[in-house]
Amino acid sequence: EDKVVQSPLSLVVHEGDTVTLNCSYEVTNFRSLLWYKQEKKAPTFLFMLTSSGIEKKSGRLSSILDKKELFSILNITATQTGDSAIYLCAVEVGWWTGANNLFFGTGTRLTVIP
């Protein structure tokens, strides 16, 4: 059975702290791993990772994938209250580069205190 596990389930930090969110997976037919930020409603796309060891960065956020150990981390440096959200890890599974579906973890709820 395909499985995506995120840790921790929740995290409370102070503004300015650095956080690391974890995602491990066990799936068949791995295509890519994606990170999303979910505030009130829709998941907002952050990163898509397909290759091991290549860091993707966007401002204070960065992410890396390890396909050998089957995990990814999402780092947020100098956290701000606007970073408070649920961060979702999703693994794209499928047989071909087409309409492959995403298998989601339960998310990490991050709360940043001023």
Chain positions contacting other proteins, by CB under 8 A = 32, 34, 36, 41-45, 47-48, 88, 90, 94, 97-107
Considering beta carbons, is residue 17 or 22 the nearer one to other proteins?
A: 22
CA distances from 63 to 42, 46, 74, 77, 101 (A): 21, 9, 4, 12, 21
What is the nearest approach in angstroms of other proteins to the Cβ of residue 76?
Answer: 19
Considering beta carbons, is residue 50 or 77 the nearer one to other proteins?
A: 50
Considering beta carbons, is residue 17 or 104 the nearer one to other proteins?
A: 104
Considering beta carbons, is residue 19 or 90 the nearer one to other proteins?
A: 90
What is the nearest approach in angstroms of other proteins to the Cβ of residue 39?
Answer: 11
What is the nearest approach in angstroms of other proteins to the Cβ of residue 102?
Answer: 6
What is the nearest approach in angstroms of other proteins to the Cβ of residue 25?
Answer: 13
Contacts 24+ apart (CB under 8 A), 61-66: 63/35, 65/33
Q: Which of 20, 40, 63, 43 is nearest to 104 (CA)?
A: 43
